Amino acid sequence: MVWLRRATATDQAAIVALIRAARLNPFNLNWRRFIVADDGGRVVGAGQVKPHGDGARELASIAVAPDRQRQGIGGAIVATIIALEPPPLYLYCAEYNESYYLRFGFRTLAPAEMPRSLRRIHLFANLLFGAHNAVTGQHRRLVVMGRGLPGA
Ligand SMILES: CC(C)(COP(=O)(O)OP(=O)(O)OC[C@H]1O[C@@H](n2cnc3c(N)ncnc32)[C@H](O)[C@@H]1OP(=O)(O)O)[C@@H](O)C(=O)NCCC(=O)NCCS
């Protein structure tokens, strides 16, 4: 049976392995901020909230082991973090993941609506993607999404 719990220090290596396998940002993976999905002692999913210097909090590092995807684990992690965290909550993701987060009430933000910290990441990442797209012919883009924004 899979259950969600707060991570402990002994989960650190499993968290890092999950995030690396999912090819997500491998920095700032402190177990203290993570919720993990535990299946009989095996960490099969993870997610965290990262605080930024300007006070923005970012839902990040959502990953589920490839052999356990599409079983509701990722959704349970996102829903649990939303329930635990006061709004607003932000995230950034590749454009192809945008529709995954719409179902949890996140919406894509215009730059003017983004907190300063995430606006900077958005600008920088999309400059890099622009160069990458020019070379490869791909159309990759990073989007910033938010939920429970003041006045929304
Ligand atoms: C994205 C991810 C966390 C979803 O976890 P999961 O446990 O498979 O998700 P759930 O079982 O809760 O939900 C599955 C549903 O999400 C949909 N889904 C999965 N990935 C999706 C994506 N990238 N975009 C849109 N929908 C997606 C599935 O089609 C499925 O839809 P359905 O219920 O209508 O059939 C998982 O696929 C993963 O770890 N991916 C690699 C890492 C990653 O991209 N993380 C997101 C970083 S922003």
pLDDT digits (tens, 9 = 90+) for 132-149: 999 999 999 999 999 999
Domain boundary pick from 86, 105, 140: 86
Q: Mark whether 68 and 1 lie in a shared domain.
A: yes
Of 20, 25, 64, which is best to mutate to test ligand 1, by the most ligand atoms within 8 angstroms of its C-beta?
Answer: 64
**Structure confidence by residue, pLDDT tens digits, 101-116:** 999 999 999 999 999 9
Q: Whole-model pTM?
A: 0.94
What is the domain count for the chain?
2
CA distance 73 to 84: 17
CA of 99 to the centre of ligand 1 (A): 9
User: Which two three-digit tokens encode residue 84?
Assistant: 């635990």
Q: Mark whether 50 and 125 lie in a shared domain.
A: no
With beta carbons less than 8 A apart as the criterion, state whether 92 and 145 touch. yes
CA distance 36 to 43: 6
What is the residue-averaged pLDDT of the chain? 96
Which helix (H) or strand (E) segment holds residue 147: the answer is strand 142-147
**Structure confidence by residue, pLDDT tens digits, 29-78:** 999 999 999 999 999 999 999 999 999 999 999 999 999 999 999 999 99
Task: Say yes or no: CB of residue 104 within 6 Å of ligand 1.
Answer: no
Q: Give Cβ neighbours of residue 80 (< 8 Å, ≥ 6 apart).
A: 4, 35
Task: Say yes or no: CB of residue 64 within 6 Å of ligand 1.
Answer: yes
Task: Say yes or no: CB of residue 72 within 6 Å of ligand 1.
Answer: yes
State the pLDDT at residue 152: 60
CA distance 11 to 35: 10
Closest Cα partner for 101 from 56, 148, 139?
148
State the pLDDT at residue 150: 80
Query: For residue 98, with 0-12 CB atoms within 10 Å meaning exposed, 13-18 middle and 19 or more buried, which class applies?
Result: middle
CA of 113 to the centre of ligand 1 (A): 26
Q: Mark whether 65 and 119 lie in a shared domain.
A: no
State the residue range of the domain holding 27: 1-86
Query: Domain holding 58: CATH number?
Result: 3.40.630.30
CA of 73 to the centre of ligand 1 (A): 9
CA distance 107 to 99: 9
With beta carbons less than 8 A apart as the criterion, state whether 145 and 98 touch. yes
Q: Mark whether 102 and 142 lie in a shared domain.
A: yes
Q: Mark whether 104 and 132 lie in a shared domain.
A: yes
Task: Say yes or no: CB of residue 23 within 6 Å of ligand 1.
Answer: no
Q: Mark whether 12 and 75 lie in a shared domain.
A: yes
Give the atom of ligand 1 at the shortest distance from the alpha carbon of 70. Answer: 11
Q: Mark whether 100 and 151 lie in a shared domain.
A: yes
Q: Mark whether 3 and 26 lie in a shared domain.
A: yes
CA of 71 to the centre of ligand 1 (A): 9
Q: Mark whether 72 and 101 lie in a shared domain.
A: no
CA of 13 to the centre of ligand 1 (A): 23
Contacts within 8 Å (CB) and 24+ apart, 23-30: 24/61, 24/63, 25/60, 25/61, 28/60, 29/61
